[in-house]
Amino acid sequence: MRRTVSDDRLFGRSGADTGPAFLSTPRAHTACQREFERICTALVDEASRALQTDGHRAPDVRRAPSRCVVQGRGAALTVAWICGASASVDSGELLAILWSGAIAERGDPIPERRAQRPTAPPVALWEATLRPVAGDASSWAWQAPDGLPHSSPDLASHLAQRLVERLRATSSPAPT
């Protein structure tokens, strides 16, 4: 079988150039999906635990493959994976936004009641855009344009803290 330089790069054989950076490979998609799930799961768990400890009710959670909305009374946090122009993970971004107001209200089964309750539109209070940085799946981190990289659990903890602080400031505990 005849080998070429491109075969060596594809299969990672010898040489200084071992092919494309990890984030532009198909394996990065699996790692990105896993890390996004880790962020969403940790965010929901930490926010729920902190709020229930204070006597507040657990937040409402809406999940989709590339989006998570954690809604409490008076504030919400959205986390979304935004694909770039190309299909590679390298061109995508993680967007986190803290909102004042309701983003994902539960639907009322009686539509007439919904029309009677005027709701103020949500207002974005804070947002962060982070890019993935990784040499391989085990070294995955998220980095803001002007900041240090954060692991997925650290980022989730930071986001949960922001949401819980806002919810504590805007709502009173649920009646017991």
Exposed, middle or buried, 144 (CB in 10 Å: 0-12/13-18/19+)? middle
* 1 pLDDT higher than 60: no
Domain ranges of the chain: 20-170
Please give the full DSSP string across 103-131, using - where no structure is assigned: SSPPPPSSHHHHHHS--PPPEEEEEEEEE
CA distance 95 to 39: 12
Determine the pLDDT at residue 107. 61
Q: How confident is the model at residue 57 (pLDDT cuts 50, 70, 90)?
A: confident
pLDDT in tens, 110-137: 666 655 555 778 999 999 999 999 999 9
Distance of CA 151 to the CA centre of its chain: 12
Amino acid at 71: Q
pLDDT in tens, 85-113: 777 899 999 999 999 998 866 665 666 66
pLDDT in tens, 16-43: 444 458 998 989 999 999 999 999 999 9
CA distance 111 to 172: 28
Determine the pLDDT at residue 175. 52
